[in-house]
Amino acid sequence: MTVLRPGSTRSPRPRPLAVLVTALLATVSLALPLASAHAAATPGRGSAYLGMGVLAHDGRDGTPATGDVTQTEGVDVSAYQGNVAWSTLWGSGVRWAYTKATEGTYYTNPYFAQQYNGSYNVGMIRGSYHFATPDTTSGATQANYFVDHGGGWSKDGKTLPGTLDIEWNPYGAACYGKTAGQMVSWIADFINTYKARTSRYPVIYTATSWWSQCTGDYGGFAVNNPLWIARYASDPGTLPAGWSFQTMWQYTSSGPTVGDHDKFNGALDRVQALANG
């Protein structure tokens, strides 16, 4: 038997391996919920849609104030809406629609046919849009991908020019890691390629605060490209540089039947004029 001297202590016995493993697993299990929550905060590629960042950055759901100019109601949809009840929307007064066709060069909307053709079949003037990811491939590459997967245009009086959805990056840095000059060049690359492929200038969908931050409030596209502004408020607010008016305005993400509702800045004949080029 070992006799301890006064004031001395016994060295602790080594802990069994099983005890150490149990303690380690307990520590890991406590960390997992935090890691899972962080991962869940970043959506999967392909899940972006028109206006995904607007609620967080540029206003809440809006109710348009009554103005002097006749406005024509529209909607925009993506795979998030699934099969859309187009006859219901038509009955509620919706007369035009945009459907997400593509994102980057890695995603096509699995509901595109039902949404794009369904709106057309009930009598709406329809178009398609591309969610841009300038950090993945060039503007020209994405424009070609868009045209090849539903983003084309035909002069049938019921097809609107394609829309470039350029807004907050849901997968990372707001400006996709680009300087203002690099972003302007990327957008120009997309526009020029789309114009060469379809003979039409695409619509630009954006929000004023993003445009100011990520392009330096560049005004050079306003000459040729119609503006679709995103702002969930009672009016479109201040527009990006160069544009004196918006062609379209996405004003809410909580409208009837389909959440994303829009106003075309003019009567139905103006929607038809844009379709006809």
Q: Across the chain, which distance is largest between two alpha carbons, in Å?
A: 104
> Residue 158, Cβ neighbours under 10 Å: how many?
18
Q: How far apart are CA 20 and CA 183, in angstroms?
A: 53
Task: Count how many residues are written for the chain.
Answer: 277
Q: How far apart are CA 226 and CA 15, in angstroms?
A: 72
* Cα–Cα separations (whole angstroms), residue 120 to 87, 190, 205, 269: 11, 26, 21, 16
Q: How far apart are CA 55 and CA 251, in angstroms?
A: 11
Q: Which residues are catalytic, by number? A: 76, 165, 167
Q: How far apart are CA 231 and CA 65, in angstroms?
A: 13
> Bridge-partner residues for 205, per DSSP?
165, 228
